[in-house]
Amino acid sequence: MDPGGQVEPQRTAAHEMFDADVASNRLGIELVSAAAGAAVARMRITPDMVNGHRIAHGGFVFLLADTAFALACNSHGPVTVAAGGEITFVRPARAGDTLLARASERTRYGRSGIYDVTVTRADGEVVAEFRGRSRSLRPATEPGPTPGDRGPAPDSGTPD
């Protein structure tokens, strides 16, 4: 309980991941909720997020959906990354709109999973539908490079 006597929501691995997610936090994405296999994230579309047609740039809508997907698939604990994702844009969002992305787990099999995310405006109208495929990483058994690390540069063969 917090000092005011309120029951605090249970923190998950998704909460820990979100706290370290610089990109999502800098864009103003908020973690509304996260539970086993599900998450809700919110983002306000700012004037800096619109394209030449004066509607929300699809990249920002994708990023919100991808963030909700990441929160849902990391709610179970093992470090999980995207193996792929696709989005269908249904209708536009505009500067000033607040978007809500609701992610839900469809299935998990082995270290893989499939998640659906629906992005809506505050009026409930669907803006986009996203489907993501996840892959949980195996725990490291010995020290080694982190994902994306290419290791040391090859020796050029010349003395220093």
Residue 94 · residue 55 · CB < 8 Å = yes
Predicted TM-score (pTM) of this structure: 0.80
Q: Mind listing the pLDDT tens digit of every residue in the chain (160 residues)?
A: 445 555 445 677 888 899 999 999 999 999 999 999 999 999 999 999 999 999 999 999 999 999 999 999 998 888 999 999 999 999 999 999 999 999 999 999 999 999 999 999 999 999 999 999 999 998 876 455 555 555 555 554 545 4
Domains of the chain by residue range: 13-136
What is the architecture of the domain spanning 13-136? Roll (3.10)
C-alpha distance from residue 94 to each of 26, 52, 54, 58 (Å): 19, 12, 7, 11
Element (H, E) at 148: none
List the one residue out of 132, 128, 39, 119 whose CA is nearest residue 91: 128
